Amino acid sequence: MSAINFAVIGYGGMGSYHVHTIMPKEQIHVKGTFDISKERQAVSEEKGHYVYTSYEEVLNDKEIEAVLIATPNDSHKELAIQAMRAGKHVICEKPVAMNTQEFDEILAVAKETGQTFMVHQNRRWDPDFLIIRELYKNKQIGDFFQIESRVQGANGIPGDWRHLKAHGGGMLLDWGVHLLDQLLFMIDSPVKTVAADFSYILGDEVDDGVAAFLTFENGEKVVMEVGTTNFIKLSRWYVKGTKGTAVIEDWDLSGKLVTPTYAPDVVAPTPIQAGVGLTKTMAPPSEEATKTLPLPKGLAEYPEFYQNFYDVIRNDAEPVVKNEEVYRVLKLIETIFEAGEKQQILTFE
């Protein structure tokens, strides 16, 4: 079957990354790009693409079957709606929209036109996430009861539209959406309560960091944290299970898991001096009490994003990223904003 003919809308950081790094040539053919910036148009032309001079020109091009929308967050809704009305399928970058009201409008047009609308929640394929998801399922450290998922940088908010509320800036919408998508995709239970604490250390009108505290109906608890002022960072993942603890330090996947041996002859830990006091509780467990193991391999049992999009369009496959899942994440983001503003623990409906 033939490759899907695409136009890429927004040939900036992510749009060009799609074109040059992640769009597979067998399934996706990029006919051209459209960007409102003359500079980006010139770069695209240099790379040998056809450069559309208006969005209308893209929409009127009968050869274009689908568009990738990789523009600032506030423009996703209008661009997506116009594309679907012009008979194009849409891949939209995350966060899908500024709020659930906007997403409702997008979904109504997807329904009305019958076009496919899929959101690029690519971090469901991150190797670190797949390891944690494997541990969640294989119960090597028992049932998870506390999950800490963090991304921490020290470079502040990147110097672009991400500083501005009107464009959907801020770290919850930027990185929070990825971490929450992973967590809700993995955890097999509805969110029960939400608390949040935002950081505005850099003086921007949008959050430069956020910590969200979630509880789930099954009793699991999550700390989700995004930071841009962390000159010393914490581990990417720290997970406590009923039978052990796992850590993934960084994107390089360094980490380990430690489980109790349940050996019958375990010697009680000897008290240690801690600070100016003595403790048995915080002493390291005796050698035979625990074992340290390498992290398991994590594999996605679902197809790659673009393979899946291709199969949705050409072979009527089920999308891996479902719009109702994306909706739930956006709703959770709204509740996190509200919980942060009110400084209250809110129930998630």
Contacts to ligand NAD by CB under 6 A: 9-15, 34-37, 40, 70-73, 75, 93-94, 120, 122, 160-161, 174
In terms of C-beta density within 10 A (0-12 exposed, 13-18 middle, 19 or more buried), how is residue 208 classed?
A: buried
> Which residues is 32 bridged to in the sheet?
7, 50
Q: Which CB, 182 or 290, lies closer to ligand NAD?
A: 182
- Nearest residue relative to ligand NAD (C-beta): 12
In terms of C-beta density within 10 A (0-12 exposed, 13-18 middle, 19 or more buried), how is residue 325 classed?
A: middle
Q: Which CB, 168 or 227, lies closer to ligand NAD?
A: 168
Nearest distance from C-beta of residue 292 to ligand NAD, angstroms = 33
Nearest distance from C-beta of residue 243 to ligand NAD, angstroms = 34
Query: How many other CB atoms sit within 10 Å of the CB of residue 91?
Result: 25
Q: Which CB, 12 or 303, lies closer to ligand NAD?
A: 12
Using alpha carbons, list the distances in angstroms from residue 331 to 103, 279, 346.
Answer: 10, 45, 13
Nearest distance from C-beta of residue 209 to ligand NAD, angstroms = 17
Nearest distance from C-beta of residue 175 to ligand NAD, angstroms = 9
Give the list of residues 6+ apart from residue 232 with CB closer than 8 angstroms, or none.
none
Nearest distance from C-beta of residue 295 to ligand NAD, angstroms = 23
Using alpha carbons, list the distances in angstroms from residue 241 to 12, 99, 147.
Answer: 41, 34, 9
Q: Which CB, 25 or 38, lies closer to ligand NAD?
A: 38
Q: Which CB, 71 or 308, lies closer to ligand NAD?
A: 71
Q: Which CB, 75 or 290, lies closer to ligand NAD?
A: 75
Nearest distance from C-beta of residue 174 to ligand NAD, angstroms = 6
Rounded to whole angstroms, the Cα distance separating 144 from 135 reads 9
Nearest distance from C-beta of residue 307 to ligand NAD, angstroms = 17
Nearest distance from C-beta of residue 22 to ligand NAD, angstroms = 10
Do 183 and 239 meet the contact criterion of CB atoms below 8 Å apart? no
Residue (of 175, 189, 198, 119) closest to 147 by Cα position: 189
Q: Which CB, 88 or 94, lies closer to ligand NAD?
A: 94
Residue (of 340, 172, 150, 158) closest to 232 by Cα position: 150
Residue type for position 188: D
Rounded to whole angstroms, the Cα distance separating 90 from 7 reads 10
Q: Which CB, 13 or 219, lies closer to ligand NAD?
A: 13
